[in-house]
Chains A and B, each alone.
Chain A
Amino acid sequence: MTWRFRVPRQVWVVVVALGLLLALGWVATQSGPLAPIPVTVAQVVRADVAPTLFGIGTVEARRAYVIGPTAAGRVRRVLADVGDSVAAGQLLAEMEPVDLDTRVAATTAAADRGRSAVAAADAQVQDVRSRHTWAATEARRAEALGAAGAASQSSVDAARQAEQSAQAQLAAAEASLTAARRDLSRLQADTGGAQQQRGNLRLVAPVDGVVTARDAEPGSTVVAGQAVLKLEDPGSLWISVRLDQARSAGLQAGLPARITRRADPLAPLAGTVVRVEPISDAVTEERIAKVAFDRAPTDVSSGEMAEVTLTLPVIRNAVVVPNASLRHRGSEQGVWRYVDGQLGFVPVITGVEGAEGTVQILDGLQVGDQVVVYSERDLGDRSRVTVVPALRGAVP
């Protein structure tokens, strides 16, 4: 009877004290640094790996043309505008002839004058030639008379001298004629040149295409080589894709491509790699590939960005793990294998990696091994772990 009041109260106290102690103990071992680390594990299986290469590309034209004058001048008229389709040979623009027309006239007149000079020289030659013929005849006659003793030696010499003189004059006249002819060719060439330059003032389209830029208006002065218009062949648009050098193994012409234009991300297009550039970008450490559209869309513009995914051949039945299980310990890459509640670090050699995160293991693991995929904290050789189905706080 004496104990009736004491027991319940003391029992209360013991219960509360035990409860507090247990709570403290739970707190100490289940949270904070002493608690085991929750991890998830996965089995190593065989599966297909579909590796892909990914790069960002810009749409550009295979061939682009810059239409401009070969000499500095002023633009006279521009006949095409941005967006116009033009045909090969179509006149697109014209430069101011300035003094070219007068120059052409001048050279033509000079050529005409040259022709007259040639005619004159020719006439001269005829004249000298006839005189030479007569001097030769006279010389022969004098020689015959001299031989017969009918003429004096001096008259024979005089006749011979006259013949030589006439011969020299003939040579001179023929030389003048040649010179006049050469002069004429020069002047004719000049005329041809002036006319060609006049012709260069006409800017024509070299191929069928679409005008992409109109850089000079009538009246503006442009230098040689400066663009008045730019031209592109729309059918020759392709994508210049840049791929990280480190992640471009297997890049070659012929790979199928999936192209997602930034302008229209919901409608991916198909394409193929047509060329891998022999020169890569050493500064950005990227390789460059040219990808052509299988069916070129009509509204694509050059300079557009596109994301290109190249599909490499599928590796069948490879030993794979999720790439989240790849860890580093020191400088080695590997996975943490979970065997009988114990962790062990296994260095691995990886092969190809699929876009969805499976990676091929070439050496180090076998099918059926269990590896740690996710962990709440970094793992070490002496970490205590507990396997859970999913980690707290990670929304699937």
Chain B
Amino acid sequence: MISLAGRDILHSWSKFVFTGVGLGLLIGVTFTMAGVYRGMVDDAKVLLNNSGADLWVVQKDTLGPYAEPSSVHDDVYRTILGMPGVARAANVTYLTMQVRQGETDVRAMVVGFVPGEPGEPRYLIAGRRVTRSHYEAVVDVSAGFAVGDQIRIRRHDYTVVGVTRRMVSSGGDPMVFIPLKDAQEAQFLKDNDAIVNERARTADNPALNRPGVPGLLDAIEASQTSGHTVNAVLVRVASGHAPDRVAADLRRWKHVEAFTRVEMEDILIAKLIATAAKQIGMFLVILTIVSAAIVAFIIYTMTLGKIREIAVLKLIGTHNSTIAGMILQQALWLGVIGFAVGKIAATLWGPAFPRYVLLEPRDAVIGFVIVMLVCVLASTLAIRAALRVDPAAAIGG
């Protein structure tokens, strides 16, 4: 027995392939959407991995430092270092702000870190690590800066000395790493006009500006412009100790909250990404339905074009199942072509997206199964139409 489906495809192969390519692009979009979601989850995991921390110590009763603002005194890390089970503890600050280079502005998350401690990027793709204690920066490649560029953060210029990859905030903004003190100043020090205004207000306050106490006003103004807080303390747990135990010990202090890696993942993925995940989930469902409808329409149209031949086939004695099988096979082959084109297209255009698109092999397998199922379902409409054809219609014209 020859393959009727195969012969039909061979006969009108260009139409088939074009249709397959069109369907494939739609499937590629679907894969890309799933990849965007996976990319967001991966962004969150990478953010946590690349910080090199086992515990995040933040302000009590907050979900910070990524999901909520958190403020911790910058000397808390010293006492944390003294606790059992703590190998390293370091301050970090996070602030999302505009970073200028020349005329252009980039939205970035500025991270204040201590070199050699948790919080520093774990690997570079170009340049070197920061060696000076001020005014040097390591940036993520998605910011668009290169080694040697001068960028401006608040009131200082920084030289980009190193470039890293996959260091983005949970919102997809590239990260810019600068020394902790510079970051503290950027976060907590206001602009010149505000400072001058503040000074004038303090000078007008008779309680603070006492003529009998020279030097008091200067001391107060100095204390106003210094910030001694950070957003979190990153802790690496010593080997042999359980992060949960160390976190529990830290929480017992009553002044701080401590999250383990698992808890941070949960916060980031469940709380921050939840809405985006739902949106993408809805998109995937809609795209799948649309793909199914398109496959159904195409197969149905192709079948309708063969109604005469189907009547003749039935008349001359072809099994219903043979005819149904022909239609089903065509639908499945269409699905295979669509899947291949879609997977290749998604891989090729994935890197062009502003957000990270992660295509996992597991998703490809699931996608293939779904595409096949959709094709089977979509072909039922055409099969029903074909089975209802009356062979007598071939006679009598």
User: A residues engaging B (CB < 8 A)?
Assistant: 9-10, 12-13, 16, 20-21, 23-24, 27-28, 31-34, 52, 54-56, 222-223, 225-227, 243-244, 246-247, 283-284, 307, 322-324, 326-328, 330-331, 333, 353-357, 373-379, 391, 393-396
Contacts and interface: CB of A to CB of B under 8 A. Distances in A.
Contacts of B360: 32-33
Nearest to B135: A307
Given A27-B343, A357-B129, A374-B126, A331 B181 contact: no
A166 B152 CA distance: 101
Contact of A226 (B50, B211, B341): B211
Interface residues of B, number: 52
B242 interface: no
A323 to B, nearest CB: 5
A32 B347 contact: yes
B131 A9 contact: no
Contacts of B228: 283
Given A10-B10, A23-B340, A32-B360, A374 B124 contact: yes
B239 A331 contact: yes
B88 interface: yes
Given A323-B131, A355-B131, A355-B132, A328 B87 contact: no
Main secondary structure of the interface of A (DSSP, over half): mixed
Nearest to B122: A378
Contact of B128 (A33, A34, A223, A324): A324
A377 B161 CA distance: 19
B133 A54 contact: yes
Interface in B14-62: 17, 49-50, 52
B133 A55 contact: yes
B314 interface: no
Given A13-B13, A391-B126, A24 B340 contact: yes
Contact of A353 (B131, B163, B181): B131
Given A307-B135, A324-B162, A374 B123 contact: yes
Given A354-B131, A374-B123, A394 B141 contact: yes
B238 interface: yes
Contact of A376 (B134, B165, B236, B359): B165
Main secondary structure of the interface of B (DSSP, over half): loop
B397 interface: no
Interface in B131-158: 131-135, 141, 146-147
- Output the residue of B114, B133, B135, B228 with the most chain A CB within 10 A: B133
A37 to B, nearest CB: 10
Nearest to A282: B75
28 contacts: A13-B13, A20-B340, A20-B344, A27-B343, A31-B347, A32-B347, A32-B359, A33-B360, A34-B361, A54-B131, A54-B133, A222-B211, A226-B214, A244-B181, A326-B129, A327-B123, A353-B131, A357-B129, A374-B125, A374-B126, A375-B125, A376-B165, A377-B165, A378-B49, A378-B122, A378-B123, A393-B125, A396-B147
Given A330-B239, A331-B88, A395-B147, A323 B128 contact: yes
B128 A357 contact: yes
A32 B361 contact: yes
Contacts of B75: 283
Given A32-B361, A33-B361, A394-B126, A223 B133 contact: no
Interface in B200-235: 211-212, 214, 228
B176 to A, nearest CB: 16
A21 B126 CA distance: 35
B107 interface: no
Contacts of B126: 374, 391, 394-396
B281 interface: no
B122 A328 contact: yes
